[in-house]
């Protein structure tokens, strides 16, 4: 009889999602133009480093140790982006701005990466697909704003950050509260599309048996 090895760690997805939501919350006053002082930028930078970067890095490494390649790759990759946010905000607080050409090139690369991950998440849940689609929208807005200079896109970026925070909180609470209550309090919809039998999908960032 074939036996399965139990996960090395408890499910790390809620940790990563809560860290992401806290990082988004710290960015909202900056994104909406309500906090632009050096102190505000430094404060947001620290939350980005500890929760956005540190929380997701820890969750990603734990997911990889649990042999969850898709969830681990997503969280780990995104964690370094939050560390970049910390570096950029800290520099801006001191009057030092990152090079726009490099940031633009990296944003384009991130968009390609997250488009691939969005497609993968569709095999697991419509809500996970929407979560990644929100990230795609955020990067599209950043890229188009850089190309056109359209100030209105700042609001799109800010509201996409709100959406990302809300979806992250929904998923995190669903993974924490549903098992604790023994019933579905916050539903997570099923797959958007199904994989072929010959190519089973990798495990999503969620609870596994």
pLDDT tens across 11-51, in order?
Answer: 999 999 999 999 999 999 999 999 889 999 999 999 999 99
- As given in the structure block, the two tokens for residue 73 are 């790759």
Considering the entire predicted model, what is its pTM?
0.88
Longest Cα separation, the chain: 64
pLDDT 10s digits, 131-140:
999 999 999 9
The length of the chain is 209
CA distance 203 to 74: 12
In the chain, where are the structural domains located? 13-181
């Amino acid at each position: 009889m074939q036996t399965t090895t139990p996960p090395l760690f408890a499910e790390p997805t809620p940790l990563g999602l809560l860290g992401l939501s806290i990082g988004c919350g710290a960015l909202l006053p900056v994104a909406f133009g309500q906090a632009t002082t050096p102190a505000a930028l430094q404060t947001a930078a620290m939350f980005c480093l500890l929760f956005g970067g540190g929380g997701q890095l820890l969750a990603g490494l734990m997911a990889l140790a649990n042999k969850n390649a898709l969830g681990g790759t997503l969280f780990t990759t995104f964690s370094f982006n939050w560390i970049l946010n910390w570096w950029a905000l800290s520099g801006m607080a001191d009057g030092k701005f990152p090079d726009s050409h490099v940031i633009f090139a990296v944003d384009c690369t991130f968009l390609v990466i997250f488009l691939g991950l969005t497609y993968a998440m569709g095999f697991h849940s419509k809500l996970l697909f929407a979560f990644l689609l929100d990230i795609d929208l955020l990067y599209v807005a950043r890229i188009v704003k850089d190309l056109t200079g359209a100030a209105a896109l700042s609001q799109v970026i800010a509201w996409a950050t709100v959406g990302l925070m809300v979806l992250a909180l929904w998923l995190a609470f669903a993974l924490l509260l549903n098992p604790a209550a023994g019933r579905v309090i916050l539903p997570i919809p099923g797959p958007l599309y199904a994989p072929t039998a010959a190519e089973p999908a990798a495990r999503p960032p969620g609870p596994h048996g």
